[in-house]
């Protein structure tokens, strides 16, 4: 009977001595009030009365969402800024013994660091330099919390809320800037349209001038070609006459025909050189063809009258 009681007591003590540490958590163990070890995930045995679990620490990334803090900029503008800090515990022992309340210490350190950084900046720089503020705060907080076993991964400015008067002034300024940009864009568009239209007119004039030039060149080339063909035809005709053995009189006749054609019925007088006339007179063919070679007109025939008989004498 006693053996059963002892066995039952041993089983109860063993049951309460077995501890299971979940994944992504660590237990800080103290033995007789002094730090003994840190348990990782898995099954562990604790000695009752002698050992105790001093702190259960999670290793997951945590988020610290701070309340809005009043911050004064370099140009004396008071704003409300709230931040979000992403951190995780990398050393359970330091996290347990480094600070009484590490989370509260991190929150207060975030507020003071934010005031120090923004206090060195003006309002416009604060509104446009979120990445710079985030980077500086992350670096400062990560260095300061190493002694607490905390790793600060990043810091984000959640909201920046300037006073109502500043917001109204900023809205007016932004509206004026948008109006200025609109006017500038309209002016640039009008300028571009005028330039494009002028370039189009210029190009049209250039093309018209080039077309007129090409037309004149084409007409001149056509006329030159026509004259060349006419001269070539004349030369071919003269060459054919020479080849046929035509004498000088025929050539002179051709000259005369050219002079007649030159008059074309529009000249009142035609002056013919004497050598041409002498040549045409001496040429029988020309005289017979035109009748210009006769020196005198042919005598008119005298009519023959019948002799009347005198009846008295017969």
pTM of the predicted structure, to 2 decimals:
0.55
Residue 46 has, within 13 A of its CA and on its CB side, a CA count of 25
Q: How far apart are CA 66 and CA 141, in angstroms?
A: 14
pLDDT band at 62 (very low <50, low <70, confident <90, very high): very high
Q: Which two tokens stand for residue 304?
A: 């023959």
Give the structural domain span for 98: 62-162
Question: Same domain for 71 and 138?
Answer: yes
Q: Which residues pair with 156 in a beta bridge?
A: 84
Predicted confidence (pLDDT) per residue in 220-271, tens digit = 888 888 888 888 887 777 777 677 665 566 666 666 666 666 555 555 555 5
Q: What is the pLDDT of residue 113?
A: 93
| DSSP helix/strand/coil, 127 | helix
- Based on the domain organization, do 169 and 154 belong to the same domain? no
Distance from C-alpha of 34 to C-alpha of 54, rounded to nearest angstrom: 10
Does some domain include residue 49? yes
**Which of 191-205, 246-260, 274-288 shows the lowest per-residue confidence on average (mean pLDDT)?**
274-288
Residue 217 lies in a domain: yes
d(CA 90, CA 192) in angstroms, rounded, equals 62
State pLDDT tens for residues 66-121: 888 899 999 888 889 999 999 999 999 999 998 999 999 999 999 999 999 999 99
Within a domain: 304: no
**Per-residue pLDDT tens digits for 13-57:** 777 888 899 999 999 999 998 999 999 999 998 988 889 999 999
In percent, the amount of the chain with pLDDT more than 90 equals 34
Q: Is residue 70 part of a domain?
A: yes
Helix, strand counts (H, E) of the chain: 9, 9
Q: Is the dihedral of CA 229, 235, 238, 243 positive or negative?
A: negative
One domain, residues 266 and 207: no
**CA 310 from centre of chain:** 134
Choose between 12 and 148: higher pLDDT: 148
């Amino acid at each position: 009977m006693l053996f059963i009681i002892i066995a039952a007591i041993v089983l109860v003590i063993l049951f309460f001595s077995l501890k299971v540490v979940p994944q992504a958590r660590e237990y800080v163990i103290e033995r007789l009030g002094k730090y003994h070890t840190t348990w990782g995930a898995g099954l562990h045995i604790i000695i009752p009365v002698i050992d105790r679990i001093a702190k259960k620490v999670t290793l997951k990334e945590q988020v610290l969402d701070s309340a809005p803090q009043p911050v004064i900029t370099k140009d004396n503008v008071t704003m409300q800024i709230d931040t979000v800090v992403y951190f995780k515990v990398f050393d359970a022992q330091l996290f347990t013994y480094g600070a009484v309340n590490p989370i509260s210490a991190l929150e207060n350190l975030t507020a003071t660091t934010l005031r120090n950084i923004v206090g060195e900046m003006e309002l416009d720089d604060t509104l446009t330099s979120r990445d710079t503020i985030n980077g500086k705060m992350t670096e400062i907080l990560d260095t300061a919390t190493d002694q607490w076993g905390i790793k600060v991964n990043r810091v984000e400015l959640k909201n920046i809320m300037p006073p109502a008067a500043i917001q109204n002034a900023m809205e007016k300024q932004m509206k004026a800037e948008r109006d200025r940009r609109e006017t500038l864009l309209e002016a640039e568009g009008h300028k571009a349209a005028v330039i494009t239209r002028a370039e189009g007119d210029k190009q049209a004039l250039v093309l018209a001038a080039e077309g007129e030039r090409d037309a004149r060149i084409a007409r001149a080339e056509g006329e030159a070609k026509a004259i060349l063909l006419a001269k070539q035809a004349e030369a071919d005709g003269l060459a054919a006459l020479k080849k046929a053995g035509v004498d000088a009189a025929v050539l002179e006749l051709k000259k005369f025909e050219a002079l007649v054609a030159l008059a074309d019925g529009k000249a009142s007088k035609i002056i013919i050189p004497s050598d041409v006339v002498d040549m045409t007179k001496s040429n029988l063919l020309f005289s017979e063809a035109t009748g210009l070679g006769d020196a005198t007109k042919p005598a008119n025939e005298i009519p023959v009258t019948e002799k009347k008989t005198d009846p008295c004498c017969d």
